[in-house]
């Protein structure tokens, strides 16, 4: 018997007492095809503006910095202001994201825009998030050439652009968004849910920022 069959036989033997196979199969198929929503905290169930405000507030609580700008055109200015304020080199790494690419980066002549995945030598990376989650101040990023995952982890500073209209109240709504975008049961290779900058409490339980991922996360909310 293959190890798979042996394990399955064991499981089925142990579960034998619990209901007919047909009924179990139906219950499982039903749950997989129509995932129940469960308990959704009231915290994020707000009108549009209050939801975006909650997102900003929660992101700040997990020590991300947050700014809001009116349109995509204004993102390069916000990025360049961040770099200046943090005394960072005037250079960023971005992927192929259409929204990021079409931004007027050249208005800031001295700003170097490097494209493609991070090689580990970038001080600052810029990504466009798929969605934001207001209840926790989390951004959701999907892998791929538009926003390579290395940009989320290797640079010291990670700037995340998120559209206000993509900020949902709760995690389940973002999962719903992912289903819609990639197709039911389909996923990007990686979906990163990021809540603030990297940290560790492993030495004497003292929380320190910048463990292995970015030391700082800066969120730019558009709209």
Q: With contacts defined by CB under 8 A, how many residues of the chain interact with other proteins?
A: 83
Of 24 and 84, the one with the shorter C-beta distance to other proteins is 24
Per CB under 8 A, the segment of 48-56, 77-85, 105-113, 171-179 that binds other proteins is 171-179
Asked if 198 contacts 209 with a C-beta cutoff of 8 angstroms, the reply is yes
Per CB under 8 A, the segment of 12-20, 47-55, 82-90, 160-168 that binds other proteins is 12-20
Of 102 and 200, the one with the shorter C-beta distance to other proteins is 200
Taken in order 168, 70, 191, 124, the sign of the CA dihedral is negative
One residue of 52, 54, 56, 58 binding other proteins per CB under 8 A: 58
Measured between alpha carbons, how far is 175 from 182 in angstroms, rounded to an integer?
11
Q: Is 168 helix (H, G, I), strand (E, B) or coil?
A: strand
Measured between alpha carbons, how far is 178 from 197 in angstroms, rounded to an integer?
23
Residue identified by tokens 């900003």 is: 56
CB of 85 to other proteins, least distance (A): 22
Q: Is 186 helix (H, G, I), strand (E, B) or coil?
A: coil
Q: Which of residues 23-52 bind other proteins (CB under 8 A)?
A: 24-25, 27-28, 31-32, 35-43
Per CB under 8 A, the segment of 79-87, 106-114, 123-131, 145-153 that binds other proteins is 145-153
Judged by CB under 8 A, does residue 57 bind other proteins? no
Q: Which of residues 120-139 bind other proteins (CB under 8 A)?
A: 120, 135-136, 138
Per CB under 8 A, the segment of 48-56, 80-88, 101-109, 188-196 that binds other proteins is 188-196
Judged by CB under 8 A, does residue 91 bind other proteins? no
DSSP 62: T
Of 57 and 73, the one with the shorter C-beta distance to other proteins is 57
Token code pair at residue 80: 């360049």
One residue of 95, 132, 155, 169 binding other proteins per CB under 8 A: 95
Residue identified by tokens 């800066």 is: 218
Judged by CB under 8 A, does residue 222 bind other proteins? no
Of 135 and 166, the one with the shorter C-beta distance to other proteins is 135
Measured between alpha carbons, how far is 213 from 120 in angstroms, rounded to an integer?
11
Of 104 and 201, the one with the shorter C-beta distance to other proteins is 201
- Report angle CA 136, 78, 71 to the nearest 5 degrees: 80
Q: Is 216 helix (H, G, I), strand (E, B) or coil?
A: strand
- Based on its alpha-carbon atoms, the radius of gyration of the chain, rounded to whole angstroms, reads 21
């Amino acid at each position: 018997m293959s190890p798979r069959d042996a394990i399955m036989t064991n499981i089925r033997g142990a579960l034998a007492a619990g209901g007919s196979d047909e009924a179990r199969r139906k219950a499982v198929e039903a749950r997989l095809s129509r995932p129940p929503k469960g308990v959704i905290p009231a915290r994020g169930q707000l009108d549009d503006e209050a939801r975006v405000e909650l997102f900003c507030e929660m992101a700040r609580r997990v020590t991300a910095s947050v700014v809001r700008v009116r349109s995509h055109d204004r993102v390069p200015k916000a990025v360049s202001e961040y770099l200046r304020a943090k005394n960072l080199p005037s250079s960023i790494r971005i992927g192929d994201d259409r929204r990021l690419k079409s931004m007027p980066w050249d208005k800031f002549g001295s700003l170097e825009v490097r494209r493609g995945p991070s090689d580990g030598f970038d001080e600052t990376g810029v990504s466009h998030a798929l969605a934001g989650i207001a209840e926790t101040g989390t951004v959701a990023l999907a892998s791929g050439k538009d926003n390579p995952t290395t940009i989320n982890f290797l640079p010291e500073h990670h700037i995340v652009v998120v559209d206000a209209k993509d900020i949902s109240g709760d995690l389940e709504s973002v999962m719903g968004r992912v289903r819609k975008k990639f197709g039911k049961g389909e996923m990007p290779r990686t979906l990163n849910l990021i809540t603030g900058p990297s940290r560790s409490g492993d030495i004497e339980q003292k929380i320190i920022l910048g463990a292995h991922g970015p030391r700082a996360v800066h969120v730019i909310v558009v709209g």
